[in-house]
Amino acid sequence: MSDPKYQRIKFLKIMEILYRKTDEAHPITTKDLVKELALLGISEDRRTMYADIKALQEFGYDIHSKRTKYDSLYWVSKRSFDLPELKIIMDCIHSSKFVTESKTKELIDKIADLGGSARADLMKRTAVHFNAVKHSNEAIYEIVDVLERAIENRKKVSFNYFVLDQHGERVYKHGMQLYVEEPLAMVCNDGNYYLLCYRPEEEYENHIKVFRIDRIDNIAMTDEDISKDGRTALRKASQYPLQAFKMYGGPLRRVTLMFDENLIGVVYNKFGENTNIKKYKGKYTASVQVQVSPTFWGWMLQFPTEMKIKSPEDLKEQYREWVCSAMGEDASAANEGENDGVS
């Protein structure tokens, strides 16, 4: 590798080594930097290294240097991502169910390396992760790539869709018949990754059909454009992730919740910290928009005595009926008893 062409990339390799191997706590000496270049087939000596580093500094590269008794030390401190930013990204990947175990390890290694080798080892050593449930579709990257291109180009997609049986085996819906859908957006929610598609039929609330992306197989982008109504829905797609309980069908309604003081944090966590909470007769109330569905009822049921629906009346009755149905009781009979959670 003594060809002069390798000398032409010397400055690139110097910066690559500094980014990969150094930070303020782990500088590299001139001697070691020369050795690293030699391993790449690039000849350099200590005298020219000083001049090369100085030239890079003069051109604005963030290289720090310090003279010691026997050598000079070099390091970089400014990176595209700070350590806390990388740590947050890594933890989010660990907690994402749709990223498989093998893909998680690969992705974590790549992201950690952005912080330099010393920081990468530190972040991976200090990581504490509980046993997150991970799905098994190894084609998740390819699926996301096709969907992203289809959404960008406003094209329909075709795919097979499956669920898992009691043995964990794939059971394809509609006997392997292809779905042809108009993709609008991909949304992360509760560790899963969802595809929102436009459906013109009135039976679909807000004309949105939702698919789990890790349950998609044999996906392809078609040559067919999405419909005019689909393009209109696409422009509004950024609104959908703001809907509470958005992954499940149901009409959007304004609901006033009444709850105990200890649930203020729960309400903020679910509906956002800009939620307007008011004190009311020793309790607290908040008017929020929800997508009325079993998911909403199930969330309410976590707080049977601490949270109630204050209004509207028809949703109070719907909740009562749902709770009675879940318990195998008759709602009209329950009305004669106590009104836990719905009064």
Indicate if the pLDDT at residue 239 is higher than 80. Answer: no
307 in a domain, yes or no?
yes
Number of folded domains that form the chain: 4
Rounded to whole angstroms, the Cα distance separating 301 from 289 reads: 18
Mean pLDDT along residues 12-16: 89
144 in a domain, yes or no?
no
Rounded to whole angstroms, the Cα distance separating 239 from 196 reads: 12
Percent over 90 (pLDDT), the chain: 35
**Residue 193 structure tokens:** 């990754």
Q: Are residues 224 and 256 in the same domain?
A: no
Q: Are residues 187 and 231 in the same domain?
A: yes
More confident residue, 190 or 300: 300
Q: Are residues 176 and 236 in the same domain?
A: yes
Query: In 123-141, which positions are buried (b, 16+ CB within 10 angstroms) versus exposed (e)?
Result: beeeeeeeeeebbebeebe
274 in a domain, yes or no?
yes
Three-state DSSP state, 51:
helix
Q: What is the CATH number of the domain that holds 263?
A: 3.30.70
Q: Are residues 155 and 210 in the same domain?
A: yes
Query: In 87-112, which positions are buried (b, 16+ CB within 10 angstroms) versus exposed (e)?
Result: bebbeebbebbbbbeebbeebbeebb
**pLDDT at residue 121 in the model:** 64
What DSSP designation does 61 have? -
Q: What is the mean pLDDT of the chain?
A: 82
Q: What is the CATH number of the domain that holds 160?
A: 2.30.30
What DSSP designation does 78 have? -
134 in a domain, yes or no?
no
Q: Are residues 28 and 62 in the same domain?
A: yes
- Compute CA distances 85 → 24, 114, 298, whole Å: 18, 11, 34
Query: In 223-253, which positions are buried (b, 16+ CB within 10 angstroms) versus exposed (e)?
Result: eeebeeebeebbeebeebeeebbbbebbeee
**pLDDT at residue 341 in the model:** 44
192 in a domain, yes or no?
yes
What DSSP designation does 312 have? -
Type and span of the H or E element at 13: helix 10-21
The whole domain housing 66 covers 4-75
Q: Which tens digits make up the pLDDT trace of 48-73?
A: 899 999 999 898 888 999 998 889 99
Tell me phi and psi for residue 154, to 5 degrees.
55, 50
Q: Are residues 238 and 257 in the same domain?
A: no
141 in a domain, yes or no?
no
Type and span of the H or E element at 16: helix 10-21
**pLDDT at residue 61 in the model:** 87
